[in-house]
Amino acid sequence: MNGSRLARMGMHAGWVAGMVFAVALLWLGAVVPGYEHAHMPVSFLGMRGVALAPCWNVAGFIVPGLLVAWFALSLQPPLGRDGTGAQARIGTWLLLISGLAFAGNGVFAYDLAEPDGMASKLHVAMLTIALLGFLPSALLLALALRRRPAWRALVAGGALLALATLASVMQRMGDWLPLLHDNPGYAQRVTLALYFLWLALASRVALRSGATRG
């Protein structure tokens, strides 16, 4: 497999991550007894003792997270060739950390029987790191690419998605979407949807910009 083809596959990893996550969530959410999307976090599907928990931890967390990390690494060479500087480099490294932390959610499954146990604490920490890595990454990349016409869609659209994700994390989306009131499961899914939408947008912009050439 030549380098150009491998680089293009890496650019596709951004949008594929969201597809893998969505398919795993819809499938396992439908087959796990008693699971309710409106009230239960996605982590419930991977908790110890839950049916098919290993499947969720792999398909819902580890695989999407590693795809995000691959996408972040794939962005570094073309952004470097475009002379985007330190902001873009830091942005891609933060995105890499976000992807690895997202995968870490599947490695450290939450234990409902021991919410204060080490595994549960690490699970919460991984989710926090995934979001804390993503938000500044998206904003730094928007700043770094603002004078690059080929990446223009990621500047405006990416920044808006990042800000919407921040609003969702701060639980402000409920002020605008009544459906989210008293439905914490849906609120979490909005946050995750915004995360993966940004990745899909970044993947599309990178592919259309000719980032795999050179």
Domain hosting residue 73, numbered range: 3-208
* pLDDT class of 57 with cuts at 50, 70, 90: very high
Instruction: Specify the pLDDT at position 64.
Output: 98
Mean pLDDT, the chain, whole residue set: 88
In our burial notation (b when 16+ CB lie closer than 10 A, e otherwise), range 179-198 reads: ebeebebbbbbbbbbbbbbb
Residue 213 domain-assigned (yes or no): no
Q: Name the domain count of the chain.
A: 1
* Residues near 194 by beta carbon (within 8 Å), at least 6 away in sequence: 161, 164, 165, 168
Residue-wise pLDDT for 29-49, tens only, equals 999 999 999 999 999 999 988
Which range of 89-98, 141-150, 169-178 scores highest in mean pLDDT? It is 89-98
CB distance 130 to 188 below 8 Å: no
- Residue 86 in any domain: the answer is yes
What's the rounded mean pLDDT across residues 107-127? Answer: 88
20 occurs within a structural domain: yes
d(CA 49, CA 27): 18
With respect to residue 87, please indicate whether it lies within any of the assigned structural domains.
yes
Asked if residue 214 belongs to a domain, the reply is no
Residue 204: per-residue pLDDT: 93
Q: What is the pTM assigned to this prediction?
A: 0.92
* Position 93, amino acid: W
Say if residue 174's pLDDT is above 80. no
Quick check: is 67 in a domain?
yes
For residue 112, being part of any structural domain is answered with yes
CA 87 to chain centre: 20
15 domain residue, yes or no: yes
